[in-house]
Structure 1
Amino acid sequence: MKFTIAFSVACLLATALAAPPASQQEAQVLRFDSDVQPEGYNFAVETSDGKRHQEEGELKDVGTDHEALVVRGSYSYVGDDGQTYAITYLADKYGFQPEGAHLPRAVQ
């Protein structure tokens, strides 16, 4: 059940990232790869407007009380300023953990 919910959220996120704003021309999908297995998935999407998104998820501790989905991925896009922004992320039992050169970092 957790896997189904997490996969549905991942698909919605992929769709939202691939959809261009109404003010821009409609982008074309250049690449879409997907592989869904019982205990994991991965996908990659690339569009003509410079957006890219790839992600893989793996179900950990299957059948136990600690069953959880661990997701790793990255996405990039061209901002209104013409720069390409890239984010890598990990989502696990510690939450969503994005990293990117343009994102602020916690002071340690």
Structure 2
Amino acid sequence: MKSFVAILALVAVAAADVAHILRSPEADASIVQQDADVFPDQYQYSYGTSNGISGQEAGVLQNPGREDEGIEVQGSNSWTAPDGQVIKTVYTAGKDGYRAEGAHIPVAPPVPEYILRALAFIESRPPQPQKN
């Protein structure tokens, strides 16, 4: 029984939280710049951290009081990837959805001309009746 308790104690020590030993320097980053202005119909904020992360965003209420009321947003953020590449994203959000741009974001290849012609042909044909 004593050996069982001793083995259990060794397992507990081995399974102890060692996150503080493996802690990344990124975990100690601090905010070095921060600004925010919030109003009923608009807002803006920006921030920067000691490890080079930064961001900013501004939003404006569009069509207040109407059924299609919504916020239009523009913003950006950037950071440095582990390989040293600076990743920057610029985005907008609003009635047309969320759109992000950045050199790191994959872009779909162009649709081949023959596919566009086939789609136009299919669209020009009347729908066929469904057979049950």
User: TM-score band, normalised by the shorter chain?
Assistant: 0.7 to 0.9
- Find runs of 4+ consecutive structure 1 residues off by over 4 angstroms: none
Partner Cα separation in structure 1 for residue 75 and residue 34 of structure 2 = 15
Q: Which runs of structure 2 are paired with 1:83-94 in the superposition (5 Å)?
A: 83-94=85-96
- Structure 2 match to 1:79: 81
- Structure 2 match to 1:28: 30
Give the structure with the larger helix fraction. Answer: 2
When the two chains are superposed, the root-mean-square deviation of aligned CA atoms in Å is 1.3
- Structure 1 match to 2:64: 62
Partner Cα separation in structure 2 for residue 29 and residue 77 of structure 1 = 14
Sequence identity percentage:
38
5+ residue gaps, structure 1, are 1-21
Q: Which has the higher contact order (CA 8 A, sep 6+)?
A: 1
Larger Rg belongs to: 2
- 1:26-59 CA deviation, whole Å, 9 max, x = no partner? 1111100000011010000000100001000111
Give the structure with the larger strand fraction. Answer: 1
TM-score, normalising length from structure 2? 0.62
2:39 paired residue among 37, 40, 64: 37
